[in-house]
Chain A
Amino acid sequence: MWRWRNGFVAICGISLILSLLALWVGHQKQAASAKIELGRYLFYETGLSEGHSLACANCHQQMFAFSDGRKTAINVHGDKGRRNASALFNLAQNTSFTWANPLQTDLAFQALIPLFGDDPIEMAAGSVEQIQQRLASSSIDYTSLFVSAFGSSEINLARITDALAAFQSQLLAYDSRYDRYQAGQHDALTEFEKAGLALFESERFGCRQCHEGSNFNQFMGSRHNQATKNFHNTGLYYTETGYPSSDLGLYEVTFDAADRGKFKTPSLRNVGVSAPYMHDGSMRYLAQVVEHYARGGSVNLNGIKGDGKLNPNKSHLIKGFDMSEQEQNQLVAFLMTLTDETLLTDPRLAKPD
């Protein structure tokens, strides 16, 4: 009798604990999805910028895999920046953010650069009080969005950047035709595209040297994936005075002369929709990009005189390769299969109604 009763009590106790745990987990999940939802509103919110002129989404548009289709980004004053807006997806797999800054390893922190940066000015968000005022006067009910996400209505930068990072971590792109082919669906790629894939993987082309890993952005030589190994000078420029001083890439952060003209290897996923290419948007077509690597550097790119192939800082991996016109077309055709259509059309990632 005693034993039976003890057992009953124990079972009751355990089920109580389990249901409390389930409630707690449920609550955490709810808070997490509320944070993502808040982040989505903030991502499309022009109130984060001076004069309500720009939202994150202006330079990171869903139809372009969250890049903007422009050569270089345009700021709140309508001025052109010096760099191409990066596409945003699979960000958890990145070792650092932005084109050439290994210090930026935290997605939430990184948002402070476009919000407050003054060289270049991007969104010019102003003071925290100004942001609070703009959000308070919005037609969107931010009070309840902040309460659901964080338990109170307080608007501060830690919460804003946390929510933005939570939303951006939802931008996933692993459902391209290439992925389906990898998963065993043989007809997901045409024979022409498969030939392009073979060229991509080939030693002769050597693309995988820098575009390794499931996101095609890791340096093969670095198994530990050290942050600075993902930055390369790819032979875009070499003028009489060296690399054009308007943008010296990694060198501007590290002050190490060997880092002149080094930029982060971008992912190749969604390249079909994220033109133009390179850190300065200097190439409009994928065929041009492929040609650049086949030659081992560019001549007079972007109207800047000189042969980047001869740049002494150029990565030794950019050696150039022979390529027929057919092979070039096959490689480009393969690159076009890396687009995840869901990322581009998923209404959960679009501007909230």
Chain B
Amino acid sequence: MEWKQAMKRIGIFIGLLLLLGCSEAPEQRLEVPFSLHFQGELIDANNCQVDSQGLDLNATPKPVVNAVTLYVHNVELQNHQGQWVRARLQGATEQAWHDEQIALLDLTPCQAEPVGGQALPLVLPKGQYQGLRFTLGVPEALNHQDPLQAKPPLDLPAFQWHWTVGYKFAFFDLAWRENSVKYHLGSSGCTGNIGETISCQYKNRPQVSLTHFQPGDKVALELRQFFTELPHARCFGKPQDKGCETLFNLIGLQQHEQRLFHVVD
């Protein structure tokens, strides 16, 4: 009789273990919206009203934003114990602008058909968080894979950087007054063979850390800083491109603190 009871207890114990194992740890969702700003003012759909010459009809001339897209991965929030907790991206949406690891953000206003999201849809273990950090770019393990076999959000030829067999981690195409800015950020100085290993001297994947972030806040990109003394700033990943210094400086590469991203309420 005794062994039967013992077996029962063991059975219950195993059952409980299984239950525990199968039940998911409680999670929470957090949406982190991104927006564009110019001298602190939001650039949104209201900026789409342009006259026939393409000039902004608003009182303060804001820049014309032809494109701002970013690849973002390794998204983490800091819990109250000070530990950074990895968030995953919510199950792929219809538009498939992200997988669990990588999101493509398309912050270009006035677009009929955006190619990426405007917010990071995060899933985190339940808890209290502050502070946000993420890495710009496509993870190295995926950056040089065959783009023709790539799954969303890596399957868009516009953001593939075919000449370096990689991706454009960030893409800016802006104009303001007589000035223009065209920036492509990606890994450069690469050697290797397609289909085998390709490694790059300049990885160019800056980590953006926003320690003042509180859930509910937005991440803002301040675009005014792009317009420096260079009338036509270009950085297309070539060593002689004059605009690269400004871009790297703003985005937090080559030992600079990033200044492009801010937290706003």
Contact = CB atoms under 8 A, between A and B. Distances in A.
Interface of A: 101-106, 109, 112-113, 115-119, 125, 127-128, 156-158, 161, 245, 248, 251-255
B238 A248 contact: yes
A245 B156 CA distance: 31
Contacts of B195: 106
B133 interface: no
Contact of B239 (A115, A127, A161, A248): A248
B184 A127 contact: no
B26 interface: no
A186 to B, nearest CB: 43
A116 B165 CA distance: 13
A103 B157 contact: no
Contacts of A113: 162-163
B191 interface: yes
Residue among B149, B195, B240 with most chain A CB within 10 A: B240
B162 A117 contact: yes
B250 interface: no
Interface string B57-89: 000000000000000000000000000000000
B207 interface: no
A239 to B, nearest CB: 13
Contacts of A119: 184, 236
B54 to A, nearest CB: 17
A112 B240 contact: no
A117 B191 contact: no
Contacts of A161: 148
Contacts of B184: 118-119
Contact of A112 (B156, B162, B193, B201): B162
A128 B146 CA distance: 16
Nearest to A227: B193
Given A109-B162, A117-B162, A252 B157 contact: no
A158 B155 CA distance: 12
Contacts of B130: none
A105 B194 contact: yes
Contacts of B240: 245, 248, 252
Contacts of B157: 112, 115-116, 125, 127-128, 157
A239 B162 CA distance: 31
Interface in B130-157: 146-149, 156-157
A252 B194 contact: no
Residue among A102, A113, A118 with most chain B CB within 10 A: A118
Given A116-B160, A253-B189, 20 more contacts: A103-B165, A103-B194, A103-B198, A104-B163, A105-B194, A106-B194, A109-B165, A109-B194, A112-B157, A115-B157, A125-B157, A158-B149, A248-B239, A251-B239, A252-B238, A252-B239, A252-B240, A255-B188, A255-B202, A255-B239
